[in-house]
Amino acid sequence: MQTDSSFTFVLFGGTGDLSMRKILPALYEAHRAGGMLADSGKIVAVARHIEDRGEYLQWVNEHVKPHVSKNGLDETAWASFLARIEFAKIDLGNPDDFVLLRDAIKDLPGIRVFYLATGPSLFVPICHALASVGLNANSRIVLEKPLGYDLKSSNAINDAVGEIFAEEQIYRIDHYLGKEPVQNLLALRFGNVLFEPMWRREWVESIQITIAEELGVEARGDFYDNTGALRDMVQNHLLQLLSIVAMEPPHSMDSDSVRDEKLRVLRALKPIDPRDIGKVAVRGQYHSGVIRGTAVPAYATEAGVKPDSATETFVALKVEIENWRWAGVPFFLRTGKRLADRVAEIVVNFRAVPHSALGASALRAGANRLVIRLQPNETIRLYCLAKQPGEGMNLASVHLDLAFDQFFREGQMEAYQRLLLDVINGRLALFVRRDEQEAAWRWVEPILDEWKTSTKPPKPYASGTWGPAAASAMLAQHGTCWLEEEN
């Protein structure tokens, strides 16, 4: 991916955790690769508690350097990367300071990208301050999640930002859309004739999408206790992945063609009757337990969490899509903290053969399945049955590995690296459009409302397990189970 696009990348929240772990390392990797970032491109970090550029570069060396380059640090590339970085000391609560920012970047080249790696409460004030000094024209703005607390607050932020920036200037980021296996899912579906005839209700029995974490809330107890897993993971990541899995083939890969098809899926989600929420939605909260041999505390005892909190740390959902392709096919979504493993994957379970001359094993559910692993190791595997060596016709599960690293010499691009390059180069396809976001909020809102008023607490589950038993029972009713131990 070569580019001549010059840019000035302004990073609000320049000393935050996201900047330290993801954004600056991703920009370094693009710089180190050569040709991905225009030589004239500049990065301007914005922070309040650092005095000048020299002090900021010391911070970068101390805090960012440990998070770059899995294959070792290139000191020459690192030094030239630091040369790209400028610094502006700005108090985001003081609009007058944005005059200093305008003056600091007025002579820097190329398209201006403003990345808001801050809390959502600062999105609108920052946008107003940028507009007050004329920095909203001919620029792009990147908004991190969460974008609002519910449909009403999301619309309020979008309305306010939309008064200052046009929709084509707004990049709502969801890093799962930048992951290599998600890109390969699109290639797999729309670049090959093999899968498309089977990607429908006649051949697919069910689909699972899981994002599981071993970590708890860590130091984010205050934030998480007012958010919960439904807002934090389902409304954005999981529903975006579902829409890519279920979308119709777009006529091209331009931004609106792709996002139009995702929107059709989100609008086709079967509305949830509040009376049925107990049947199709499971919420849980982790108790104490053991993760990889280490005892971990219950959610209610974490710092910043209310002792009587009813906030969910686990969600499992049964979702249906009311359209011709997917009618009757259940989509099972699952996410949680303090689970047995860190894994994100999509599992497509194909139907069993209609009649088997080879014995009962050929009729079992899930004998044929496609597993798209997003993390920790990014792979795509196709499972099928084959004859075991020896006498008789005994079948065993085998798999075909789509090992892309054996076909392509270059390493896989990290999600943030791909998405940041797309922002700089003006590619919107992998970013969430406002109408997509509204459709997702509208679908989850009945669940949010029911859980907010419910007197039933979240179902408990021990840390280090796969969540409440009710999540497995929900799948058992459909004759299937979660795929939980996949190497």
Give the residue numbers annotated as catalytic, written as ranges: 237
Burial 16-47 (b: 16+ CB within 10 A, else e): bebbbebbbbbbbbbbbbeebbbeebbbbbbb
Using alpha carbons, select from 396, 401, 376 the residue that is nearest to residue 386: 396
Burial, 324: exposed, middle or buried (Cβ in 10 Å; 0-12, 13-18, 19+)? exposed
Closest CA to 332 of 128, 478, 144, 141: 478
How many residues in total does the chain contain? Answer: 487
Residue among 459, 467, 470 nearest 484 (CA): 467
> Does 62 appear as a known binding residue?
no
**Residue 145 among known ligand-binding residues:** yes
Of 163, 167, 104, the closest CA to residue 128 belongs to 163
302 among annotated binding-site residues: no
291 strand-pairing partners: 294
CA separation for the pair 268, 323 (Å, rounded)? 6
DSSP string, 306-365: -TT----SEEEEEE-B-STTTTT--EEEEEESSBSS-EEEEEEEEPPPSS-SS-GGGGST
Among all chains, which residue has been given the structure tokens 């590619």? 427
Of 14, 6, 236, residue with least CA distance to 109 = 6
Q: Is the peptide bond before 376 cis (omega within 30 degrees of 0)?
A: yes
CA dihedral 22, 26, 29, 31 (to 10 degrees): -140
Amino acid at 268: A
- Backbone angle region of 456, left / alpha / beta, with phi > 0 → left and psi within -120 to 50 → alpha: beta
Query: Is 483 marked as a binding-site residue?
Result: no
3-state secondary structure at position 257: helix
* 179 annotated ligand binder: yes
CA 365/CA 385 separation, integer angstroms: 12
Q: What is the DSSP code (8-state) at residue 65?
A: G
Output the CA–CA distances (angstroms, integers) from residue 466 to 221, 321, 379, in the order listed. Answer: 21, 26, 22
User: Is 48 part of any known ligand binding site?
Assistant: yes
Output the furthest CA–CA distance in the chain (Å, rounded).
Answer: 82
What single-letter amino acid sits at 91? D
Which positions make up the binding site for NADP(+)? 48, 91-92, 145
Which positions make up the binding site? 48, 91-92, 145, 175, 179, 213, 232, 337
